[in-house]
């Protein structure tokens, strides 16, 4: 019989698990973290290529207005002054994002907020008489034809793998229009990239904590569970319960990364490709996240596709069917025999799209509940 050696076994060495582990250790608990990947950090892991921190699982920009979250992460790293200002490429013409006065000038040549508002109202007018039933109708209702066809339709259909007429309208609840010449994508008070990349943040959180990578929890589950009094599970909740209530759906991504023998490929960290004919949704040039001056550059093309067991789950499909199934799994997790042993948290266990600040906030909320705030 395996002897209990730890207070907590944490399955998953991503940001949620790392924050919980740190707070558990401060509370005097012994912790072991395991992860099936060969590295710590989950999806915020960075790989050093040609002296550049490459965001291996897609672009990550830390942003928050939550003072507690910002103060918390700044215990471990300092952040640079990076501001997310993506650009959209549609048939070799460039448009600023989010929709702002630069975008409206690029689309229509308008130069004042009054002109921009009048043009948007003119564009919306033909679509205001019907209640939107799908994403296409919702986008036309909110912004009109030019914005929809240039900057929304192709990108969204690639992202979700289906026509916009088959995507629920709630995906675009609103279109944020900014009537200033401000290209900052986020409205949050704080924003930046950790000096040294996200590995520095994870290393700070996990300092002094035992982590074993390359370990699949499900291959020897009983033995791993026997090592600890409680288990925090941050993976897919349906997988934890053997998919006994059904399989939750996701969209996935794959990445094609290459080193280029030039100093600067596209002049921006993120450029979205919004036309349907281009198979990728965006190109990331990683050095611009940290204002790199290296002689070479590294770019990554991002391709969305259906999820399967051979790739990573990225975006939950939070439609009525999947949300109903999730609710049933949460009932199962809350049963006394499960609640006594297991905790669940993170984007996969919660089946929610989390930004990094959401992840930290949710992890701290759980530690407040378990260890006292």
Please give the positions annotated as active site: 174, 178, 251, 282, 302, 353, 355
Could you give the CA distance from residue 332 to residue 356 in angstroms, rounded to a whole number? 27
Distance of CA 364 to the CA centre of its chain: 18
**Positive/negative CA dihedral, 274, 278, 280, 285:** negative
Could you give the CA distance from residue 4 to residue 224 in angstroms, rounded to a whole number? 10
- 32 CB neighbour count, 10 Å cutoff: 20
Could you give the CA distance from residue 170 to residue 177 in angstroms, rounded to a whole number? 18
CA dihedral 156, 253, 301, 190 (to 10 degrees): 80
Structure tokens at 156: 């969204």
Could you give the CA distance from residue 230 to residue 320 in angstroms, rounded to a whole number? 32
Rg of the Cα atoms in the chain: 22
Could you give the CA distance from residue 227 to residue 222 in angstroms, rounded to a whole number? 9
Q: Is 174 exposed, middle or buried (0-12, 13-18, 19+ CB in 10 A)?
A: exposed
Structure tokens at 238: 């349906």
- 212 CB neighbour count, 10 Å cutoff: 11
Could you give the CA distance from residue 218 to residue 44 in angstroms, rounded to a whole number? 23
End-to-end Cα separation, the chain, in angstroms? 36
SS3 sequence, 15-77?
HHHHHHHHHHHHCCCCEEEEECCCCCCHHHCEEEECCEEEECCCCCCEEECCHHHHHHHCCCC
- 135 CB neighbour count, 10 Å cutoff: 25
Residue 46 in contact with residue 300, Cβ under 8 Å?
no
């Amino acid at each position: 019989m395996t002897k209990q050696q730890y207070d907590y076994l944490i399955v998953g060495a991503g940001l949620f698990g790392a924050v919980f582990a740190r707070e558990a250790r401060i509370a005097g608990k012994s912790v072991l973290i395991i992860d099936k990947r060969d590295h710590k950090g989950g999806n915020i892991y960075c790989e050093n290529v040609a002296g550049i921190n490459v965001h291996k699982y897609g672009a990550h920009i830390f942003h928050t207005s939550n003072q507690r979250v910002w103060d918390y992460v700044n215990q471990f790293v300092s952040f640079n002054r990076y501001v997310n200002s993506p650009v959209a490429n549609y048939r070799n013409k460039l448009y600023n994002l989010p929709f702002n006065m630069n975008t409206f000038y690029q689309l229509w040549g308008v130069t004042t907020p009054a002109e921009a508002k009048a043009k948007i109202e003119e564009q919306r007018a033909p679509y205001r008489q019907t209640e939107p039933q799908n994403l296409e109708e919702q986008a036309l209702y909110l912004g009109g034809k030019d914005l929809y066809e240039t900057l929304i339709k192709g990108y969204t259909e690639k992202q979700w793998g289906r026509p916009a007429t088959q995507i629920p309208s709630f995906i675009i609840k609103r279109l944020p229009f900014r009537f200033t010449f401000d290209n900052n994508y986020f409205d949050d008070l704080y924003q930046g990239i950790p000096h040294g990349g996200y590995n520095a943040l994870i290393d700070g959180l996990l300092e002094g904590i035992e982590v074993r990578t390359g370990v699949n929890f499900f291959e020897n589950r009983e033995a791993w569970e026997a090592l600890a009094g409680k288990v925090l599970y941050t993976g897919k909740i349906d997988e934890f319960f053997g998919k006994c209530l059904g399989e939750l759906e996701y969209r996935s991504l794959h990445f094609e990364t290459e080193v280029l023998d030039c100093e600067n490929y596209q002049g921006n960290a993120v450029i979205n490709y919004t036309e349907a004919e281009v198979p990728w949704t965006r190109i990331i040039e990683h050095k611009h996240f940290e204002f790199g001056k290296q002689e070479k550059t590294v770019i990554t093309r991002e391709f969305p596709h259906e999820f399967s067991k051979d790739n990573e789950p990225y975006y939950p499909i939070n439609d009525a069917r999947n949300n109903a199934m999730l609710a049933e799994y949460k009932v199962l997790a809350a049963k006394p025999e499960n609640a006594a042993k297991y905790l669940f948290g993170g984007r996969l266990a919660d089946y929610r799209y989390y930004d990094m600040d959401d992840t930290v906030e949710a992890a701290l909320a759980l530690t407040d509940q378990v260890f006292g705030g």
